[in-house]
Amino acid sequence: MDNAAIGFPPTTIAVFVSLAIIALAIDLLTHNKDKPVTLANASMWSIFWVIISMAFALFLHETHGAETASLFLTGYALEKVLSVDNLFVFMAIFAWFKIPDGLRHRVLYWGIIGAIVFRGIFVAIGTGLLAFGPWVEIVFAALVAGTAVMMLRAMLRAEGDDEDVDYSNHFAYRFASKLFPVWPKLYGHNFFVKRSELEQELKKPENSGMTLAQKGVWFSTPLFLCVVVVEISDILFAFDSVPAVIAVSKEPLIIYSAMIFAILGLRTMYFVLEALKHLLVHLEKAVIVLLFYIAGKLALNATNHLFHHGYTIDPHTSLAVVLVVLAIGIVASVLFPGADKK
């Protein structure tokens, strides 16, 4: 059989694309309602995504040999480890925007779609794009550290303070408002709302004093702003994960398939962690610690590329740190459940 330009026969490419599309379609049809995803449901779907990934690895083993399957599994495992970083940033983003549990699956779905597209672009561009990696990592390290600081400040504020988020102070708001005028409240699960609908909203007592921008037929909602932040965060994460997976294999299909199968399972991994967060009262503190660690890791790796100081943190160390910090958060929640649990 003639090989495709990327080094694999069309049959292999078709199997990869078919598995990814079918699995994503099943997931979308199953979770098409604005309901919180339970721990049991998220756990089952996490297992489902692992099975799909292992099925593709088995296919590679049978059709292209053990070495090819091993490269895929190595890249898949590495991307999974690096994707743990994304989960904690997503938790911080949702906390900042106060997105209800039932709407988070919708935001993550579009975030995953964006990740699939942009990962393909980054893999295609290759090493030429990686020349900008260190500087992008430094910027992202600052953003992650800033998010951790905001979460820490919010946690230290008096409990029970239901103060609304001032979206106008968020960088995503400023970016999106240049494209669309913004309605500062959630409007169902809509990303955009027509002016005519908002004119009716202004008649409600709770919206007294609010006004609409003079121009614009469509207004974006905080849910759209949240998607923008998730997309930007994932794009910046790609500068950290794409070079790492490229180090495993130079074959585009191996790189892209390993990353995509890991990313497709990332959403359900988030809900497993999110469900545990509701049960474990001190897990948020662990998330803040991990955000500071992630920022430091990105900054250290980036400055090593720039100044060659020789200090880096490998993915295995990152995984160990994540597991230890999470374990401390879990143990602390069991030993010190808080006044509300007494």
Local confidence pLDDT in tens for the 342 residues of the chain: 434 445 678 888 899 989 888 887 887 777 666 677 778 888 888 888 889 999 999 999 899 888 888 888 877 877 776 676 677 778 878 877 888 878 888 888 888 888 888 888 877 765 444 455 566 667 667 766 776 787 687 677 645 444 444 445 656 667 777 788 777 778 788 888 887 777 777 778 776 667 676 677 788 888 888 888 888 877 777 766 666 666 556 677 888 888 888 888 877 788 887 776 667 667 678 777 877 877 787 678 778 878 888 887 765 566 577 768 777 887 887 788 764 444
Whether 107 and 227 have beta carbons less than 8 Å apart is answered as: yes
pLDDT score for 58: 94
Question: Interhelix angle for 252-264 vs 101-125, to 10°?
Answer: 170
Task: Write the CB contacts of 225 (distance below 8 Å, at least 6 apart in sequence).
Answer: 97, 167, 170, 172, 173, 176, 182
Supply the pTM of this predicted model.
0.65
Q: How far is 324 from 44, CA to CA, in rounded Å?
A: 24
Structural domain boundaries in the chain: 10-163+230-341, 167-220
pLDDT score for 133: 57
From the centroid of its chain, how far is CA 186?
21
pLDDT score for 309: 84
What is the C-alpha radius of gyration for the chain, rounded to an integer number of angstroms?
Answer: 21
pLDDT score for 2: 39
Q: E-assigned strands of the chain?
A: 192-194, 218-220
pLDDT score for 95: 79
